Structure 1
Amino acid sequence: MRFGLIAALAVSLFAATPALADPPIWLVRDADTEMVLFGSIHALPPGVEWRTARLDTAMETADLVAFEILTPGSEAEEIQMFMPFMRYFFADRPLDEVVTAETFARAAAAAAAQDIDVRSLQMMRPWAAALMLDMGADEALGRSEELGVDTILEQSLAEGRRKEALDTPELLLASIKALADMDDVEGEAMLVEVLDALGRDELDVEMDTAWAAGDIAPIEEEMRLMQEEAPRLYQALLVDRNHAWMPALTRMMDAEGRVVVVAGAAHMVGEDGLPALLRAAGYTVEGP
């Protein structure tokens, strides 16, 4: 199973600098509403060019902008948002009693290289340790959620602009539970795959280059592989969330004039993607 893909989905879908910015946009229409669907990248390194005049115009003229989640306004709000999920990251037994001695030694060395206290590592389920180490490695190479599409676009909204979150606490909890339901054998396999990928000195930029140029074929292929190799996670992280967002999207199509929806590019592709679901619901959809 390609667990590196799952780890990447938790934070982003890759990074690079294109020659010409033209990331994927879909336009959804009915008689009185235009909805722009923008397939985003949640975390990026410095120097990536992705903003276009078309996107900026859509953002400036939108009556409502929707994101997967909204950035908490304070540290207290952030704690309140994520605290219910934290218990799923932690194990009943220390990590060195759950995984093999070799895997733990490698994980402890990777944690030390990222200045992570081994006591924190010991508390985590194998899949959670894998995500933590994978995210830390990417951050060390310059990838940051602060430079991600969602963060930049939300911060660019003037005070008082209408914005909305698509994810509910229940949907977020279901996503975490899907990962938490992974047994320790699966979790260790994920951890080993992440450890095997550590030590690289540059980010993988292939998919991000394609995304920034408007080519969604590599993302479609990754989603196909995820559906084949991790169907339970594919269902919970993508399919279930997309279907749960549809009532909000159809309400927006009924009630608004101009809407922009910013969601991860993985949510936009294939027969389970938002453009396909909206087309099946009877709307006109134009795009890649």
Structure 2
Amino acid sequence: MILFLFLFMALAGANATAQSVGPAIWEIGEGDSTLLIMGSVHLFRSDIHWLDPEIRSRFEESTMLVVEVAYLEDMDEVTIRLVEERGFYPPGESLADEVGAELYERVMLHAEALGCGRREFSQLRPWLAVLVLTQLWAERHGYDAGAGVDVVFNRMANETGKPVWGLETIREQMDVLIEDLGSDPETMLEYALVQLDNGDYLDSLVEAWLKGDMRALEALLHESLADFPEMYELLIAARNRRWAGMIEMMLGDEHSQFVVVGAAHLLGPDNLLDLLRARGIRVVRQ
């Protein structure tokens, strides 16, 4: 989830084929050694229904939920601590000292449009500035991280006592945000502003995801990242390469896993599904 940062990239599926309409699910493996993978949209509108009987049934048949980050109840505590320790500039410094004047002004205009005070916002380090802008933009447009697909599955698992396992920890995700992406703050901020300027982008993603329209989702991913290959490598491809081996090891486990990852991980170069195929594992959309 990467703390719901760059959530406009939360696409679904890969490898367009003529399949049934609806959010996409893939079966991985063969015989008794199988698991299911579903792409998640991390931000969702609470008034949109997506959990159809087929998806619910496949989830209920599983014995373990696998998500990017388990123990979401710890997220607030970890995030608050990191914000306090690493989210603000010391006295006498500001965002204006770290990025160019033109980009700084664009960031400030977005912040003001979303109700933030210029002086206060300038004290946020780039990674925190992006998080705040993204959250405020999403709220203004009716989207809620609490209604995200992975969060809904987490809630359902907790209610039924189904074990939940994470591919990463929240601190590992924060390290990608603060250390890796944070090493190039101008690119990180520029990417975020491009997404914020495209007001229809998230609506288009959700509509395509609900239909299981792989071609549309692939096109949206390309549109989002064509000018930011380094973002794709850090946020998506590098993590996919780590996860592919972890998911392969799950095959043959005593549990029947239902895996839910941000659906951009199932699209584009080095997508998770193709990496599994390259390991000789059968991948079939259901």
Fold-level similarity (TM above 0.5): yes
Which residue does the alignment assign to 1:147?
Answer: 147
1:287 aligned partner: 285
- What is the TM-score when the length of structure 1 is the normalising length? 0.79
In structure 2, do the counterparts of structure 1 residues 49 and 13 end up closer, same or farther at CA, with 3 Å as the change threshold? farther
Cα separation, 1, equivalents of 2:125 and 2:151: 28
Paired position in structure 2 for 1:22: 22
Detail structure 1 runs of 4+ shifted over 6 Å in the superposition: none
Give the Å deviation of 1:274: 1.7
Question: Do the aligned partners of 1:275 and 1:285 also contact (CA within 8 Å) in 2?
Answer: yes
What is the CA distance between 1:35 and its match in structure 2?
A: 0.9
Q: CA 1:278–1:256 in 2, change beyond 3 Å: closer, same or farther?
A: farther
Q: Distance in 2 between matches of 1:120 and 1:279?
A: 49
Shift of 1:195: 6.5
Question: What SS is found at the alignment partner of 1:260?
Answer: strand
Secondary structure of 1:208's counterpart equals helix
Match of 2:227 among 226, 229, 246: 229
Question: Following TM superposition, by how much is the alpha carbon of 1:143 offset from its aligned partner in structure 2, in angstroms?
Answer: 0.3
Aligned length: 273
Deviation at 1:232, TM superposition (A): 1.9
- Note if contact 1:42-1:145 (Cα within 8 Å) is conserved in structure 2: yes
- 2:236 is aligned with what amino acid? L
Corresponding residue of 1:239: 237
- For the 8 Å contact 2:40–2:149, the answer to whether it is kept is yes
Amino acid at match of 1:237: L
Moved more, 29-38 or 167-176: 167-176
Q: Report sequence identity in percent.
A: 24
In 2: Cα distance, 1:14 partner to 1:66 partner: 17
- The correspondence for 1:180, drawn from 170, 179, 182, is 182
Structure 1 spans left out of the alignment, 5+ residues: 1-5
Matched residue, 2:161: 160
Shift of 1:250: 1.7
1:62 to 1:192, Cα distance in 2 relative to 1, 3 A: closer
User: Residue 69 of structure 2: SS of its match in structure 1?
Assistant: coil
Q: Counterpart amino acid of 1:10? A: F
- Residue equivalent to 1:95: 95
Q: What is the CA distance between 1:273 and its match in structure 2?
A: 1.6
Superposition deviation, residue 89 in structure 1? 4.6
Aligned counterpart, 1:3: none
SS in 1 for 2:73: coil
1:51 paired residue number: 51
- Contact 2:41–2:150 (CA under 8 A) maintained in structure 1: yes
- Residue 119 of structure 1 deviates from its aligned partner by 4.2
Q: Give secondary structure in 1 for the equivalent of 2:139.
A: helix
Task: Tell me the alpha carbon deviations over residues 183-222 of structure 1, each in whole angstroms, 9 at most, x when there is no partner.
Answer: 44x356446546745xx6x774222211110112232234
The reply to whether residue 11 of structure 1 matches residue 13 of structure 2 is no
Measured after TM superposition, the shift of residue 80 of structure 1 is 2.9
User: What's the counterpart of residue 111 of structure 1?
Assistant: 111
CA separation of 1:251 and 1:81: change in aligned 2, threshold 3 A: farther
Moved more, 101-110 or 240-249: 101-110
Task: Say if 1:64 and 1:256, in contact at 8 Å, map to a contact too.
Answer: no
CA distance in 1 between partners of 2:222 and 2:195 (Å): 20
Summarize the Cα distance change of 1:226–1:196 in structure 2 as closer, same or farther, 3 Å threshold: closer
Distance apart, 1:27 and its partner CA = 0.9
Q: What amino acid does structure 2 have at the position aligned with 1:179? A: L
Q: Tell me, in whole angstroms, the C-alpha distance in 2 between the residues paired with 1:27 and 1:60.
A: 15
Counterpart position of 1:251: 249
Which blocks of at least 5 consecutive residues in structure 2 are unaligned?
12-19
206 and 9 in structure 1: CA distance in 2 versus 1, 3 angstrom threshold:
same
